């Protein structure tokens, strides 16, 4: 009797032991596993989320707090509070700390590229402002951020450059300039180009050309970030794997999976069936408005995410980091985007803070 009580006590202690391996331990040597964190997690207001983070993840990305409009609401006027707390949070908890993002057309400081009259500024002025912003932010966290997304989403699906204000003023030269400024501000920091829909051949071709151009000029770039906001019906995983391999084989640099999530909901296609009523169309796009996903849909999601992870594991020589875009499903930006009012379940951890079944063979 006494022995069995002791044995049970040991089993319970082992089950609760903080040393029990988490996902980050299982994948050690394959890739670093990270998650995007929001203000609640950084401020310690999400105790359950933080405990999942510390147990299973080895790296963090800031979901919003380092974007230019957040950190610098008016050009030259910085609000460091949350970004400082983010970096301290990562360091205090032994996580690799990444930066996202320096130059992006979205969540952009409104007057970054404009003069007082609202006109686009000239090329010299923009170069000076980019240098000022990049050296201020990268310089502030010098030696503390492992890698920065330097330029985000500059290329469209067809391979043409996005007509962002940066591009309108400087053409594609804004890209090498941003990388050069970031490297000068922290020469030891890894630097990345980051984009979504990297399964689109046109986008990939231009990204590879851009990397080669930077390399030919001797400008540092360490990896291409594949955001990987994916769906149940895209991308084709053989194609995606092929694109990861192309980056590695054609440029020699790695891929980081930077914003992984996979919507369980129907994909929005641009071509609506014109004979459908608005109500029928909305019902088709939002079949489970109460967030109660049928078992079948959850099984299909787990099966596909398992295949996605297997593919990354098979290519771990080229994929140096996987970062999921949020800790648990209720955190995800995909709730309500791109269609308001939907409840999604795109992440690795469910709303009850449990790892999803496809991960159970690695950790519980």
Catalytic center residues: 153, 259
The nearest distance, CB 111 to ligand XIL, in angstroms, is: 20
When binding is defined by CB under 6 A, the residue of 80, 333, 353, 362 that contacts ligand XIL is: 333
The nearest distance, CB 143 to ligand XIL, in angstroms, is: 24
Based on CB atoms, which residue is closest to ligand XIL, 127 or 229? Answer: 229
Pairing of strands 319-324, 32-37: parallel
258-277 positions binding ligand XIL, by CB under 6 A: 259
Pairing of strands 223-226, 190-195: parallel
Q: Using alpha carbons, select from 38, 41, 87 the residue that is nearest to residue 64.
A: 38
Based on CB atoms, which residue is closest to ligand XIL, 121 or 138? Answer: 138
Burial call 34-51: b when 16+ CB within 10 Å, e when fewer:
bbbbbeebbeeebeebbe
164-203 positions binding ligand XIL, by CB under 6 A: none
Binding residues with ligand XIL: total (CB under 6 A): 6
Contact status, residue 151 vs residue 193, Cβ threshold 8 Å: yes
Give dist(CA 35, CA 122) in Å, integer: 38
Q: Using alpha carbons, select from 57, 70, 74, 143 the residue that is nearest to residue 100.
A: 70
The nearest distance, CB 262 to ligand XIL, in angstroms, is: 14
Tokens for 70? Answer: 């957040």
Determine if 64 is a binding residue for ligand XIL (CB under 6 A).
Answer: yes
The nearest distance, CB 29 to ligand XIL, in angstroms, is: 28
Based on CB atoms, which residue is closest to ligand XIL, 186 or 259? Answer: 259
When binding is defined by CB under 6 A, the residue of 68, 109, 152, 335 that contacts ligand XIL is: 152
Contact status, residue 226 vs residue 255, Cβ threshold 8 Å: yes
201-260 positions binding ligand XIL, by CB under 6 A: 227, 259
Binding residues for ligand XIL, rule: CB under 6 A, are 63-64, 152, 227, 259, 333
């Amino acid at each position: 009797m006494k022995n069995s009580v002791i044995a049970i006590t040991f089993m319970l202690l082992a089950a609760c032991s903080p040393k029990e391996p988490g996902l980050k331990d299982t994948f050690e040597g394959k890739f670093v596993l990270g998650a995007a964190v929001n203000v609640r997690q950084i401020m310690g207001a999400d105790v359950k989320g933080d405990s999942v983070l510390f147990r299973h993840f080895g790296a963090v990305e800031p979901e919003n707090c380092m974007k230019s409009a957040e950190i610098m609401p008016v050009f030259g006027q910085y609000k460091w509070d949350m970004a400082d707390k983010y970096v301290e949070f990562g360091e205090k908890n032994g996580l690799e700390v990444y930066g996202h993002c320096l130059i992006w057309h979205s969540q952009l400081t409104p007057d970054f590229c404009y003069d007082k009259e609202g006109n686009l500024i000239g090329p010299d002025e923009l170069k000076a402002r980019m240098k000022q912003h990049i050296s201020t932010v990268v310089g502030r966290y010098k030696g503390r951020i492992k890698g920065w997304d330097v330029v985000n989403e500059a290329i469209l699906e067809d391979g043409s450059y996005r007509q962002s204000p940066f591009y309108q003023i400087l053409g594609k030269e804004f890209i090498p300039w941003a990388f050069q400024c970031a490297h000068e501000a922290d020469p030891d920091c890894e630097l990345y180009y980051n984009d979504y829909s990297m399964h689109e051949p046109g986008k990939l071709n231009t990204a590879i050309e851009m990397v080669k151009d930077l390399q030919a000029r001797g400008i540092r770039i360490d990896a291409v970030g594949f955001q990987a906001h994916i769906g149940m019906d895209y991308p084709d995983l053989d194609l995606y794997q092929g694109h990861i391999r192309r980056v590695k084989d054609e440029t020699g640099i790695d891929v980081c999976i930077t914003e992984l999530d996979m919507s369980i909901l129907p994909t929005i296609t641009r071509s609506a069936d014109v004979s459908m009523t608005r109500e029928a169309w909305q019902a088709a796009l939002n079949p489970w408005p109460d967030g109660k996903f049928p078992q079948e849909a959850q099984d299909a999601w787990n099966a596909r995410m398992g295949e996605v992870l297997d593919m990354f594991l098979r290519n771990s020589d080229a994929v140096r980091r996987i970062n999921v875009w949020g800790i648990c499903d209720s955190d995800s930006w995909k709730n309500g985007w791109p269609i308001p009012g939907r409840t999604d379940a795109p992440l690795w951890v469910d709303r009850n803070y449990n790892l999803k079944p496809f991960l159970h063979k690695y950790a519980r």
